[in-house]
Structure 1
């Protein structure tokens, strides 16, 4: 992958993370989780909500930094950005593993639209991991 292609791939990953971050702010509403969340014990509900917000904020930061510094990340000229890319690549790689090891297939197997979403999410997160790790490994 040449540098220009890697820059575009990093911008794709940045945009994807920003989109996921924005969707994350509305996830409970979009998935109609109001009743399920209201039935949680107060502390669990508060931790769930705060963690959801902070995941979205983190993804906004990762996406914004990636967009801003995509040429520098692709060039591999700054040690900090190599560490950044390694960290983000590992972050998304672990998220891919969790897609298969944490979530029960009961939620999606045999349900066409949920199976499609499951695979789209997995492949998107895999692409993010590969893009960031490609920036580090060259």
Structure 2
């Protein structure tokens, strides 16, 4: 545990880079997963809401990454009430994402498909690790 707290700023910076990478990946997710036919079949209102929500999730994740990168030392070694609240909020965000990975997505999307099963587990473990790092920062 001591090792984690001693290297918390590095862990936060690593998580920040991964969040920035995820934000960039989100820009191409529709193309990667070949969503065009499904998106085109949506009603115009649902399609517009879907696209705007996708952009706002991407912007939110990018902001999490940028803020974490910029303030990692303060979050890890000299936490303020603001940084604790920020870490708690981001940790809750990713914690909820972990729960949704299991409770919302149908196992039919990944079961029996080795590549998708790997990605499902990779995302879950990653989001759980991010949640954990942010909660360690809350406790710092």
TM-score, length of structure 2 as denominator length: 0.95
> 2:26 maps to what in 1?
24
Matched residues, number? 138
Question: Are the aligned partners of 1:14 and 1:63 in contact in 2 as well (CA < 8 Å)?
Answer: yes
Match of 1:42 in 2: 44
Counterpart-to-counterpart distance in 1, 2:53 and 2:6 = 35
TM-score by length of 1: 0.96
Give the CA RMSD over aligned residues.
Answer: 1.0
What is the alpha-carbon distance in structure 2 between the residues aligned to residue 67 and residue 49 of structure 1?
A: 27
Give me the whole-angstrom Cα distance separating, in 2, the residues matched to 1:12 and 1:41. Answer: 40
Structure 1 alignment gaps of length 5 or more: none
Aligned partners of 2:61, 2:135: CA distance in 1, in Å? 17
**Aligned match for 2:124, one of 122, 125, 129:** 122
Displacement, 1:70? 0.3
Q: Distance in 1 between matches of 2:139 and 2:8?
A: 12
Cα distance in 2, alignment partners of residues 14 and 108 from structure 1:
27
Distance in 1, Cα, partners of 2:49 & 2:19:
22
SS in 1 for 2:7: helix
1:12 CA displacement? 1.1
Q: Distance in 2 between matches of 1:51 and 1:76?
A: 34
- Give the equivalent residue in structure 2 for 1:9: 11
CA drift at 1:41: 0.8
Q: Which runs of 4+ in 1 moved over 2 A?
A: 1-4
Tell whether the 8 Å contact from 1:90 to 1:129 is kept in structure 2 after alignment: yes
